[in-house]
Amino acid sequence: MVFVLLVSFSTFLLETGIAGFIQMLGIGMANLLCGVVKDHGSYDDVLMLLFLFCTISLLCAIIASYLDSLNGGPLNKLTAKKNTTVEPNSNTNE
């Protein structure tokens, strides 16, 4: 498997570390918050909290996409190439 890095390897590692830290912090805080809500409310309140988390993450993704379109294009530079076609493999045995 070959990976094409669009940024330097050290930048990739830094971004991966920061993203992993934020993800683990969010997982821990969400579990604690769900426990507090469950202690003081019902299971329906926990479901509403989780729905709120989903809504916030969807809004963040929409905002990131909008800001990216204002700044000139897709975050993923591989999808920015125009007229990119995949040629069929001519060495297939049929």
What pLDDT does 25 receive? Answer: 94
Encode pLDDT of 37-74 as tens digits: 999 989 999 999 999 999 999 999 999 888 888 877 76
Give the mean pLDDT of 66-94. 61
What are the boundaries of each domain within the chain? 10-74
**23-38 residue pLDDT tens:** 999 899 999 999 999 9
Structure tokens at 88: 């069929």
* CA dist., res. 44 & res. 47, Å (int): 5
Give the pLDDT confidence of 5-19 residue by residue, as tens digits: 677 788 888 889 999
Q: 20 or 75: whose pLDDT is higher?
A: 20
What type of residue is 81? K
Distances (CA, A) of 74 to 56, 66, 69: 21, 10, 7
